[in-house]
A = this chain, B = another copy of it.
Amino acid sequence: MKHPFVVRGLLLLAVLVAGPVHAQPLPSWREGPVRSALIEFVAAVTQPGAPGFVPPPERIAVFDNDGTLWAEQPMYVQAAFALDRVKALAPQHPEWKTQQPFAAALAGDAKALAASGEKGIVELVMATHAGTTSDEFAQIVSDWIASAKHPRFGRPYTELAYQPMLELLSYLRENGFETYIVSGGGIEFMRPWSERVYGIPPQQVIGSSIATEFRLRPDGTPELMRLPKVDFIDDKGGKPVGIHRFIGRRPLLAFGNSDGDQQMLEWTAAGSGRRFLGLVHHTDAAREWAYDRKSHVGQLDKALDEANARGWTVVDMKRDWKRVFAFD
């Protein structure tokens, strides 16, 4: 085995077998306590023989989506989708011109829209998200996400994924984690693009849903019809419920950015052994936005208090991220 050809061949093969070499994990994270805590945590749970070792099928990592993996300002991306859908469907609904919340949506009147309350929002969601088959809805979302542009950055919304979080998702997967989205947003709104943008396949996307019904068309073709009825709200206490329903095991790592993620982090933290709890704190008005306790979108108040009290990791976007977006 001392023959240089053999040695060189084996080294080459060892490299090929081991996969690409990452000289520097998490390159868009600044050196500092947060980046170090992430790397140290992954090492602690993946080192074979170490006391904290967790076998791969149990390495579950969960991430909120809006404000954690991509931008959620000036409004949730799905809200922008719903408003665009109202406009697209308006010609078939002349009554919307005078009927709230549709008239407000068509006029772009945020104040009147807010005045329609939760009832109005649900009406808007049902009118724009139900009444199609699941396949048709996936196509509608795919077409919209391919063409819509973010109002501030003038780029497709999917380019507003946070580069450091994309690196974290990859880093976890390279270390044997399954990475899940656990979002208050609509499950069917995320699945058409989650694999392409985040490397997260549909089967690892958990979200809010409306009811669907299995039907046979007159020609015998089966379809799933989307009904105007809330099925599941994957927010606050719904997040641990959704995690338990879809995954059936407690995550090792959970990342959120708002009070809607507090229960998910509490549920994760209460597992035995090492856990990692992270919050993205939006502190960078120049590159992204700065908001927390008083924001209408992505309010971070009680969860921030709990993070500080319990020593959860708070990512200061301005301090901890070299880049926010890939295009920075």
Contact = CB atoms under 8 A, between A and B. Distances in A.
Chain A contact-residue range equals 35 or more
A222 B240 contact: yes
Given A13-B10, A214-B240, A270-B221, A209 B245 contact: yes
Given A10-B9, A17-B17, A244 B222 contact: no
A214 B187 contact: no
Given A5-B6, A13-B10, A249-B202, A212 B241 contact: yes
Contact of A246 (B216, B237, B246, B263): B246
A201 B57 contact: yes
A19 to B, nearest CB: 12
A247 B203 contact: yes
A159 interface: no
Interface string A243-280: 01111110000000000000100110010000000000
Contacts of A95: none
A301 interface: no
Contacts of A267: 214, 222, 224
A42 B187 CA distance: 30
The copy count of this chain in the complex is: 2
Nearest to A212: B241
A109 interface: no
Given A222-B263, A222-B270, A270-B221, A191 B248 contact: yes
Interface string A1-38: 10101100110010001000000000000000000000
A167 interface: no
Contact of A247 (B17, B202, B224, B249): B202
Contact of A187 (B60, B201, B248): B248
B249 A224 contact: no
Nearest to A223: B270
A3 B10 CA distance: 14
Contacts of A224: 240-241, 244, 267
Contacts of A178: 203
A101 to B, nearest CB: 28
A266 B222 contact: yes
A303 to B, nearest CB: 14
Contacts of A60: 203
Contacts of A270: 221-222
A14 to B, nearest CB: 9
Interface in A306-325: none
Contacts of A57: 195, 201
A213 interface: yes
Given A214-B267, A222-B240, A222-B267, 7 more contacts: A1-B5, A201-B249, A203-B249, A205-B248, A212-B241, A222-B270, A224-B241
